[in-house]
Every structure is written in structure tokens, then in C-alpha cells.
Amino acid sequence: AAPPFAPRPLGSVRAGFVQGYPAKGLDAVVGKAFPAALQKLAPHWKAAADVTVDALDIMHAVNDRGGIAPPEAYSIHRGLLDGEGIDPNVRARLDRGASISAADYIANLRDRERGIAQVDAMFDHYDVLVMPTTPIVAPAMAEVSTAEGFTARNVMALRNTSIWNFFDVCAISLPIRLGNELPCGLMLVGRRGADRDLLAIAAA
């Protein structure tokens, strides 16, 4: 068993505040709570700077070609699509994987490897990347009662966390409790395979 870890002092941590696409479209709650959390932490980092994740261009290109998870999910679950009982939102996502070619799927896998290497290199300069866990708070049931409402809010709810799944790194969400009326989170992203280091920073 691995030994217990001690919190790593934030005074030794270099933080990169992710800008651009992941920081856009924050709702009223997150848009107020996330900056307040950054302000509270500001005096404690060893160093902090705004950063852009250029590898997001690779992720967008892969997703524009159909992505990786959709064709894999369709391949695994297509036998279920002839039956009943599949949520229509899930069915629609599975169906989208049916038309993706093998050539595009292979290109997507190769491009993802390039993106993983680019993101990994960022951690030569930063110990953690910092961003909102989700740009929106959990929606009310009425907001997701239609297919259109569900899709729009599902995309936003998954947007920031799915980035780091794509780039094969570890991340943790810390609850922001600064008077915000609904829960939201601050996400710390660490180098792939460095989960214990990330947990030590999060503990601090």
C-alpha cells in the first residue's frame, strides 16, 4: 500500500488559469463563485498565470470528425438499438456513431495521441491547471424536459470535464463554498499518472 501523503504547501505550486473555451459561458452562480475562489487562493500560489490550451484545437478537430467515444459506443451497444427501453437521448448519441468511417476513427486516435503529448508538456511549466468544474450549476428538471433543453445543458455540464478525459490526465473538483446559493466546483488538473501529487495539492 502507498504511504499516506501530506498536503503540499500551495507556496510550492505553479498554477495555470485556463482561458478561452473552458472559461466561457459561465452562468450567474459559477460566474460569481469561481472568480471569488481564485481571489481567495491568489496570495498562496508560488506562481500563477493565465494559460491557453492550444491542444484544444486538436480535440475540436477530432470531435468534428465524429470523435472516439461515439463510434466505440455504437460498436459495443448497437445490438441493443433494435430493442426498447433505451433513453431517447442515449439512443440519439449512439446513432451518431453509426456513420463514422474507420479511416476517421483511426485518424482521431492518432490525433488524440498528439494532443496528449502537447498537454503533458504543459506540466513542465505548471503543477496544476485551474478552471471551473462545470460552467453551469445543475439544471432544474423543467430545463431538461425537452430534447433540445437536455442536449444544450448536457453539453455544458460535460464540457469542461470531458476535456481532460480526452487528454488522459487526472483532475479533481473542489467544492466552492463562498456564499454561492447553489453548489459549483473549482477543478484542478494534474499531469497524467500524477494522481497522488494532485491529491496532495487539493488537500492543501
Element (H, E) at 168: none
What pLDDT does residue 5 have?
Answer: 72
pLDDT at 162: 95
Selection from 70, 62, 53, 200 nearest residue 125 by Cα: 53
The model carries a pTM of: 0.89
pLDDT at res. 3: 62
Q: Given a cut of 70, is residue 15 above it in pLDDT?
A: yes
- Stretch 117-124: mean pLDDT, rounded? 98
The predicted structure's pLDDT at residue 139: 93
Question: C-alpha 168: how far from its chain's center?
Answer: 10
**Tens of pLDDT along 85-99?**
888 888 888 888 899
- Rounded to whole angstroms, the maximal C-alpha distance in the chain is 58
User: What confidence category does residue 111 fall into, taking pLDDT thresholds of 50, 70 and 90?
Assistant: very high
Q: Is 121 helix (H, G, I), strand (E, B) or coil?
A: helix
Residue 170 burial (CB count, 10 A): 17
> pLDDT by residue (tens digit) across 135-194?
999 999 999 999 889 889 989 999 999 999 999 999 999 999 999 999 999 999 999 999
